[in-house]
Structure 1
Amino acid sequence: MAFDTTGFEQTDSGRYLPISEHGLIGDLRTTALVGTNGTIDWYCCPRFDAPSVFGAILDAERGGSFELAADVPTRTRQFYFPDTNVLITRFFAADGVAEIQDFMPVADESPEVARHRLIRRVICVRGILPFRARIAPRFGYGAEAHTVSLEGHVAVFRSPSLTLALTATAPLETDGVDVWSHFKLLEGDAVVFALDQIGDDVPARSCPRAEAEEQFEATVRFWRHWLAGSRYQGRWREMVHRSALLLKLLTYAPTGAIVAAPTTSLPEQVGGERNWDYRYMWVRDAAFCVYAMLRLGFTSEAEAFMGFLFERMRDTAANGPLQIMYGIDGRTELPEYALPHLEGHQGSAPVRVGNAATGQLQLDIYGAMIDSIYLYDKWGQPISSDGWEDVGMVADWLCENWDQPDEGIWETRGGRRNYVYSRLMCWVALERAIRMANRRGLPADLPRWRQTRDAIYHQIMRRGWSSELGAFVQSLDDGELDASLLMMPMAKFISPTDPKWLSTLDALTKGLVSDSLVYRYNPATSPDGLSGSEGTFSICSFWYVEALARAGRLEEARLAFEKMLTYANHLGLFAEEIGPTGEQLGNFPQAFTHLSLISAAFNLDRALG
């Protein structure tokens, strides 16, 4: 690391912090990424999927940021206030030590919920330190002009789509576009910055030091009270609880939807085109999330998502397939387009908003969805009569439509294929529906469901198995490996000690695993319609741990799990992928990875006894 003249730490490129050098705060409606240098360089207001206000992580010049740091060279360290999503960034300088406490109060349903208050409290804990702040919003992904009006300690930023008010207990100045502040703190001194969305019903309001202290304590209480509901007491409690806190942070409270990640277009390969918008609710991801939440004892989160899911099923069950993803408010249209005025993280273009994969057919989502309903029916609340009607419609639709090519779990853009994983999850959907019908005595066309379930099983065994490779393969009648098949024993399709499965596990270990890290597939031999390469996929790495544990290979499983934990960032957070030298790649932090961490920790812990 080097320092520029302002005292901010810089990467070798001088413009971007690595993806992993960030922590996340939020209020269950939106989030902000805070760098280890004290800069907020990603913040969308008022929701996860709103246009960015601070987007410097995607364009250091045009994206906008909220810089706050010591005005001298420093070392920094970052951590979460214990058992919370309150983030602390500490600055160590020759003459003193100070810290920034970043958090967003979690409001109730009063008008205050629309404020989305973001509080940054700077405290000098030793010696003396000068600080500087630069608040430079760039509205509408950096495409909207704005004005600034400054009256004393309140600055109001106005754009056509959004108005924000910044209040501070330190002097402010403006150049008409950005706002600046310079101040010096002695030991025990504190300065507070509060950024609010304002409007007709939410006027600008100051945030004096006493109120900031009250809000800090209330936010700490909220997160600790929520986390106290966890039942997990295993070996990896700290990592599991950090993952749980993240999953809660990625939940959109008004609907119960869970976003796949709070960011868009962070690259799977620096300089490449594999850049996608993950600020939406994937049925697959959220359904797996229900499993993780139920395992830990958070039934209200599972219940909220189930309500969201059944609404989507009622909208579409009688008219064809579900979408693979929805907006956090349930909307179905998520048009994908590029933002050519943004250069992308470290020059990784294009920057995309929306997601064209919405229109893909991915048959595996039905298995994840009905499995989550089955688990909720078993561990949460019994399924309602209306809910069972929806499940029945989906099962009947699958009986007609399972045997066709689709785009598959990895959302490839190279055309549809007969993916074995898609068949596997169709089998799961029907098998779980049959279980529910039998256990509850519910009406169902069981002969048809059983016949279809068994036909899928036989097709996978006959055409999804390669005698030459000694492994189950990516697509029917081909010879490519795919890490999604690590789900086969977890889905209870095959015994984890079945000779065919153990042979598959060995083949996957040889062909796709690198130091506990797992590639999804080999794009060189299995083209996916995109150029470039990618890193190892972290969810697959945790699936690998669980597959080893279920196969009885506990020493291998534990070592692989402990190795994976070393790839987390300094806060215990994971992006979607891990690059060749251990760098984090892709959208960050990713829900799918953390829910698979919870599952792997739970099952490995149980196997170890």
Structure 2
Amino acid sequence: MPYKPIESYGVIGDMHSVALVGMDGSIDWCCLPHFDSPSIFAAILDDEKGGHFQIVATHEASFKQMYLPDTNVLLTRFLGAEGVGEVCDFMPIHRDKHGNRNGIHQIVRIVRAVRGSIHFRLSCRPAMDFARREHEVVLLPEGAVFDSEGQDVILLSPVPLKEDGKGGVTAEFVVEAGSCVTFALRHADDWTARNDLLSMAIDGEEARSRTVQFWRDWLSKSKYEGRWREMVNRSALVLKLLTFEPTGAIVAAPTTSLPEEIGGVRNWDYRYVWIRDAAFTLYAFLRLGFTEEATQFMEWLRARVSEHDGPSGPLQLMYGIDGRHELPEIDLSHLDGYRGSHPVRVGNLARTQLQLDIYGELIDAVYIYDRHAKRISYDFWCDLRRMVYWVIDNWEREDEGVWEVRNGRRQFVYSKVQCWVALDRALRIADSRSFPIDRPRVIAARDKIYETIMALGYDKERQTFVQVFGENALDASNLIMPLMRFIAADDPRMLGTLDETLKQLVSDSLVYRYELEKGSGLGDGLTGKEGTFSICTFWLVEALARAGRHRQARFIFEKMLTYANHLGLYSEQIGHSGEALGNFPQAFTHLGLVSAAFYLNRVVGKE
């Protein structure tokens, strides 16, 4: 089973975890019961040892995939001379009349013959805990149990299974035209749960109907009715999938170690909550009208803001979905990595970094939430105010920056801009709500940051803002300046930055995040190269639109839409041949699409 392109996958989920489903009907990635749990299937990281769950038609066929409209229910189709077969994949979201979840974490696969008698082959071979933990296969009349210490997986099967001799089970079966069979893969924490789950039958059609209704009811609350509704809706559904329902936390992506360069070392675990990514996602939810999701995440954020200061200040840049601070980074050297991309990492060492920009993104999100969703409390304000004073005392420090460099701290311009945002938005909140704050102190610091950026972060010779004070390398993160109201989009300094970015960082409308080998060769301290960074492309679209260059912005936006996969999904980056790179699907990219689509829809036709 060779590695498939990253963009060939669809994603299903239940707001606790997700599964990636290939066009050949193979589930090659799933962690249960939660996003950051050990993996059950990880063939995408090692096609031999990683584990998979495939159901595929045995006759020669072409593969197609689609979502049932306005849902996260995935349909994989096999079209061939013998007929047409389908596998409908989803993770059920069941609630009782009080709105409570039933607590079962499972993948349901409904196999159907649309035309003809279709022969199918099933192969289910889990590899517990990233293939680090052995398990025993127990065949039962109901299906099979994969018994591993502390983590059992149950496969309910309507057809007889047999062991494959490699820790998995197989089956071959025929489905007649118009008929279907249903399989359910369930996670069990202990023996009691295992016995209960074995005895609990699955009504596939009823579960599908309820799950479809859930997603359609949720999406119907969206306020977006613009030109790119289908793509915006898909992005909204992705962002909802990446929300951890019990806490409201929003993960950056549901995968780990999908490479930014095939064979390279930029392979990171994104199954955690970045303050930056989640704050931008909250903004996207509010724009779409999903205030419930914004409120739930704000409650999670409120708990983080009220914690005691750590080594890097009042906040660390990322947390676990349950709010935990420790995310030790481990190299899983026994796994091959996607197409040989080493290392495979679990955990993320970057959590110890100092990234000053997170305070601006967080307080800006609170400002928008306070204006458009729900008023924050005085106690919340007191914790925010403490952060504001910390920013005043620390904004001149060097940090690792938005791109999380691992070769030393610098005076990143983007970080300083976001420090300015933190103080500016705090003043706006205080003025709007009449909250107490030391206004002269905050105003003085805000204005000093602004003047410093203009003096040290702008290259008069190149007529552009730069990445680092005193350097001349470009950085696409500066495209966010007009979006954050730091500078007018048509200010000569911003127009110069746009022109220089288009000249130096753009390839076929796609944007690289910085000049990797420019000036001091700052880069990120790692060897190799990377693809274009998709959110930077959407930042470019919005910056151009705000500068009045609407036609150019729309062309780049429309072109960027062609780089989505067949289901409208994006990873973090796009490679030289248009392939998806990095973890998938990526919240950062999809929220950038939402923001760009909203603004562009307002101005299209004015030029």
1:126-165 CA-partner distances (Å, limit 9, x unpaired): 1121000000000010011000111123211111120111
User: What amino acid does structure 2 have at the position aligned with 1:180?
Assistant: T
Aligned to 2:537: 541
CA distance in 2, matches of 1:284, 1:326: 11
Aligned to 2:604: 608
1:189 matched to 2:179: yes
Give the one of 493, 496, 509 matched to 1:500: 493
Aligned to 2:568: 572
**Conserved? CA contact 1:193–1:207, under 8 Å:** no
Q: Is the partner of 2:307 in helix, strand or coil?
A: helix
After superposition, the CA RMSD in angstroms is: 1.4
Q: For 1:278-427, what aligned pairs fall within 5 Å after superposition?
A: 278-316=270-308, 320-427=313-420
CA distance in 1, matches of 2:533, 2:285: 22
Q: Is the partner of 1:305 in helix, strand or coil?
A: helix
Aligned to 1:64: 51
**Conserved? CA contact 1:317–1:390, under 8 Å:** no
User: What amino acid does structure 1 have at the position aligned with 2:182?
Assistant: V
User: What amino acid does structure 2 have at the position aligned with 1:529?
Assistant: G
Give the one of 52, 65, 83 matched to 2:70: 83
1:599 matched to 2:589: no
1:251 matched to 2:243: yes
**Conserved? CA contact 1:538–1:593, under 8 Å:** yes
- Note the residue ranges of structure 1 that are not aligned, 5 or more in a row: 1-13
Give the one of 92, 95, 106 matched to 1:105: 92
Q: Is the partner of 1:267 in helix, strand or coil?
A: coil
Rate the CA distance shift 1:183–1:112 in 2: closer, same or farther, 3 A.
farther
CA distance in 2, matches of 1:347, 1:189: 41
**Conserved? CA contact 1:114–1:197, under 8 Å:** no
1:168 to partner: Cα distance: 1.2
**Conserved? CA contact 1:257–1:281, under 8 Å:** yes
CA distance in 2, matches of 1:379, 1:514: 37
1:397-453 CA-partner distances (Å, limit 9, x unpaired): 011000110000000111000000000000000000000111111100111000000
Give the one of 217, 224, 232 matched to 2:209: 217
1:201-241 CA-partner distances (Å, limit 9, x unpaired): 462236767x1110000000000000011000000000000
**Conserved? CA contact 2:310–2:316, under 8 Å:** no
**Conserved? CA contact 1:27–1:107, under 8 Å:** no
Aligned to 2:256: 264
CA distance in 1, matches of 2:331, 2:198: 36
CA distance in 2, matches of 1:66, 1:388: 49
Q: Is the partner of 1:204 in helix, strand or coil?
A: helix
Q: Is the partner of 2:19 in helix, strand or coil?
A: strand
Q: For 1:435-514, what aligned pairs fall within 5 Å after superposition?
A: 435-514=428-507
Deviating more after overlay: 420-429 vs 316-325: 316-325
Rate the CA distance shift 1:416–1:326 in 2: closer, same or farther, 3 A.
same
Aligned to 2:116: 127
1:80-109 CA-partner distances (Å, limit 9, x unpaired): 000000000000011110110000011349
CA distance in 2, matches of 1:449, 1:61: 57
TM-score relative to the length of structure 1: 0.96
User: What amino acid does structure 1 have at the position aligned with 2:589?
Assistant: T
**Conserved? CA contact 1:46–1:114, under 8 Å:** no
CA distance in 1, matches of 2:324, 2:135: 29
1:168 matched to 2:157: yes
CA distance in 2, matches of 1:269, 1:491: 31
**Conserved? CA contact 1:111–1:201, under 8 Å:** no
1:27 matched to 2:14: yes
Deviating more after overlay: 192-201 vs 446-455: 192-201
Q: Is the partner of 1:322 in helix, strand or coil?
A: coil
**Conserved? CA contact 2:94–2:210, under 8 Å:** no
Give the one of 540, 549, 552 matched to 2:548: 552
Rate the CA distance shift 1:289–1:111 in 2: closer, same or farther, 3 A.
closer
User: What amino acid does structure 2 have at the position aligned with 1:34?
Assistant: V
Rate the CA distance shift 1:561–1:284 in 2: closer, same or farther, 3 A.
same
**Conserved? CA contact 1:154–1:168, under 8 Å:** yes
1:115 to partner: Cα distance: 2.3
Q: Is the partner of 1:556 in helix, strand or coil?
A: helix
**Conserved? CA contact 1:152–1:172, under 8 Å:** no
Q: Is the partner of 1:489 in helix, strand or coil?
A: coil
Aligned to 1:4: none
Identity of aligned residues (%): 54
**Conserved? CA contact 1:169–1:193, under 8 Å:** yes
Aligned to 1:522: 515
Give the one of 579, 584, 589 matched to 1:583: 579
How many residues are paired up? 595
Aligned to 1:46: 33
Aligned to 1:6: none
User: What amino acid does structure 1 have at the position aligned with 2:26?
Assistant: T
CA distance in 1, matches of 2:558, 2:37: 37
**Conserved? CA contact 1:192–1:207, under 8 Å:** no
Aligned to 1:18: 5
1:114 to partner: Cα distance: 3.5
Rate the CA distance shift 1:180–1:173 in 2: closer, same or farther, 3 A.
same
**Conserved? CA contact 1:258–1:286, under 8 Å:** yes
**Conserved? CA contact 1:194–1:207, under 8 Å:** no
Q: Is the partner of 2:498 in helix, strand or coil?
A: helix
CA distance in 1, matches of 2:444, 2:310: 22
Give the one of 90, 112, 132 matched to 1:143: 132
User: What amino acid does structure 1 have at the position aligned with 2:579?
Assistant: E
**Conserved? CA contact 2:142–2:198, under 8 Å:** no
Q: Is the partner of 1:191 in helix, strand or coil?
A: strand
**Conserved? CA contact 1:334–1:355, under 8 Å:** yes
CA distance in 1, matches of 2:199, 2:408: 55
1:523-570 CA-partner distances (Å, limit 9, x unpaired): 222332100000000000000000110000000000000000000000
Q: Is the partner of 1:60 in helix, strand or coil?
A: coil
1:332 to partner: Cα distance: 0.1
- Note the residue ranges of structure 2 that are not aligned, 5 or more in a row: none
Rate the CA distance shift 1:476–1:120 in 2: closer, same or farther, 3 A.
same
1:515 to partner: Cα distance: 1.1
Q: Is the partner of 1:224 in helix, strand or coil?
A: helix
TM-score relative to the length of structure 2: 0.96
1:569-601 CA-partner distances (Å, limit 9, x unpaired): 000000000001100000000001000000000
